[in-house]
Amino acid sequence: MSEEEKETIGRQVMTVAQLNGFIKEILEGAFPGVWVEGELSNFKIHTSGHIYFTLKDADSQIRGVMWKGSRKYLRFDPKDGDKVVARGRISVYDKRGEYQLVAEALEPKGLGALQAAFEALKKKLMAEGLFDQARKKPLPFIPWSIGIVTSPKGAAIRDMIRAIHRRFPGLRIVVNPVPVQGEGAAAKIAQAIGELNEYGKVDVIIVGRGGGSLEDLWAFNEEVVARAIAASRIPVVSAVGHEVDFTMADFVADLRSATPTAAAEQVTPDKEALRQRLAQLARKLQKDMRDRMESDSQFTDDLMNRLMASTKNLIELRRHRLAAALGRLKGQSPTNKLALRQQRLKHVAVAMNRAAMSLAGEKGNRIKSALGRLEAISWPKRVRDRRDKLAALMSLLQKEMARHLQARRNGWQNAARALAALDPVKVLDRGYAIVTRGDSGAIVKTVAQLEPGARVNIRVSDGTAGAQVEGKGKKGGRQETLF
């Protein structure tokens, strides 16, 4: 205000409204954005959704307000006595001659609002047991179908798909695309996890995105995402940000990976290593079969030797008994008695020889039967049959994996064409525009979101222009905003 205008004002008698108008112009122009530290008192949430409070220190105080639109960005629950830092502007209500602080952001002193919200939710979920190791599910050895919840754009999805195809070509990949930051992202991530569970045709789910600031990663710290992961029947791997980043999803998930690429490698086995292990097991099986055949041959030889020795010992025993009987008969003199005994001994000897020959024949037949059964087993033929069956199974597996890979590639290409058709930039080429608030970047959907004096950005097909709201009006029964 110039000196001449001040002098003119001094000579005029102003109305109260004029004076308050001058004060409003001066204060609001001098304090368009300030940071104020103090203690909350008289904190109240109105039925309209607005917040009213007093910010004070040991020497002074100022009334404050936070409109409903800014309140939704609060990351903690303020209360009387909290030490806070408020960011906002000075506003004058000229009808009452009162000024106040219009807060656009509020956070605890000494601890950011996001960090405070993170710690509060972490404590709550830990008390409910959502972090317990006992409730975590094991990952499948070979997940034939892998679900991924992430943004369809960016390096994270490309890195995960590349790692999966490198380690095990042909595995089926189902991508459920979602926004990974911004308003509404957390709800969409939770919904995508639930949809994959309802789909029921994936063996493991990877939820994640690339690195970023705490604000960028905040969607994965929301309670709705943590509870969706905890409720999943399918094992969930969290892969958010870089190795140093920790989110609520990491604590609740069945497995936490340092990066999206690491997650893809952890859920996917190395196909070449499995093939080598399979070949090693096949070689061990062949060796075990050869050893078994050699052991069976040795068993047959031992059986033959024991049978021959048993027969020989039996014959020798009978001979000794006959010799002993003849010796006893030598001491008897009567001729007829001796002749009778000799005759009986001959009969016994003949019977003994027949019994020995019969036993030897029976043992020989058993040996021949055992040898026949051993020859019928034909171990080399079984080995060849198993090797041929294994080769057929490997060929079938390779064909099936190739078919699955081609099907997934076709599905991905169709999804990419569908996404390109939904590109919002093409809508702007037809004359439409996107209006966002200059202070928060939120998309303006209704006139009620704007007030006179607010700064906005208008995006058209070839760029963005800034504007200021001059007022509101009605046209055709609908409100209009004037820029």
Amino acid at residue number 197: N
DSSP string, 416-475: HHHHHHT-HHHHHTTT--EEEETTT-PBP-SGGG--TT-EEEEEETTEEEEEE--EEEEE
Q: What is the reported pTM?
A: 0.44
What pLDDT does residue 421 have? 64
SS3 477: coil
Indicate whether 402 pLDDT > 60.
Answer: yes
Residue 113 banded pLDDT, cuts 50, 70, 90: low
Average per-residue pLDDT for the chain: 82
Query: Which residues are CB-neighbours of 67 under 8 A, at least 6 positions away?
Result: 50, 102
CA 438 to centroid of chain Cα atoms: 37
Residue 411 predicted with pLDDT over 70: yes
Instruction: Give the model's pLDDT for residue 111.
Output: 53
CA–CA dist 278, 366 (Å, integer): 41
Structural domains in the chain, CATH included, are 3-110 (2.40.50.140), 117-269 (3.40.50.261), 273-377 (no CATH), 427-482 (no CATH)
Q: Give tens-digit pLDDT for 435-480.
A: 898 888 888 888 888 888 888 898 887 888 888 888 876 555 455 5
Q: From the CB of residue 258, how many other CB atoms can be counted at a distance below 10 Å?
A: 16
Euclidean distance between CA atoms 383 and 458, whole angstroms: 76
pLDDT > 70: percent of the chain: 82
Q: What per-residue confidence (pLDDT) applies to 422?
A: 66
Task: Supply the DSSP symbol for 213.
Answer: -
Can you give the pLDDT at residue 349? 67
Q: Contact 435/456 with Cβ under 8 angstroms?
A: yes
Structure tokens at 461: 């097909």
Cα 15 from Cα 19, distance rounded (Å) = 6
Whole-number CA gyration radius for the chain: 46
In this structure, how many other beta carbons lie within 10 angstroms of the beta carbon of residue 253?
Answer: 29
Mean pLDDT of 153-178: 92
Q: What pLDDT was estimated at residue 1?
A: 56
pLDDT digits (tens, 9 = 90+) for 337-366: 566 767 776 776 677 767 767 766 776 677
Nearest to 96 by CA among 154, 161, 16: 16
The Cα 455–Cα 216 span in angstroms is: 24
Q: How many CA atoms lie within 13 A of 80 on its CB side?
A: 5
For the ranges 161-165, 236-240, 279-283, 297-301, the lowest mean pLDDT is seen at 297-301
Determine the pLDDT at residue 366. Answer: 77
At 303-342, the pLDDT tens digits run 777 777 777 787 788 777 777 766 665 555 456 656 676 7
Distances (CA, A) of 114 to 121, 329, 404: 11, 119, 43
Q: What is 290-342 written as a DSSP string?
A: HHHHHHHHHHHHHHHHHHHHHHHHHHHHHHHHHHHHHHHHTT---HHHHHHHH
51-56 and 61-66 as β-strands: parallel, antiparallel, unpaired?
antiparallel
Task: Name the one residue in this structure whose structure tokens are 């063996």.
Answer: 203
Instruction: Report yes or no: 176 and 148 within 8 Å, Cβ to Cβ.
Output: yes
Q: According to the model, what pLDDT value does residue 329 have?
A: 53
Query: pLDDT tens for residues 220-270?
Result: 999 999 999 999 999 999 999 877 778 899 999 999 998 999 999 999 998
d(CA 136, CA 222): 20
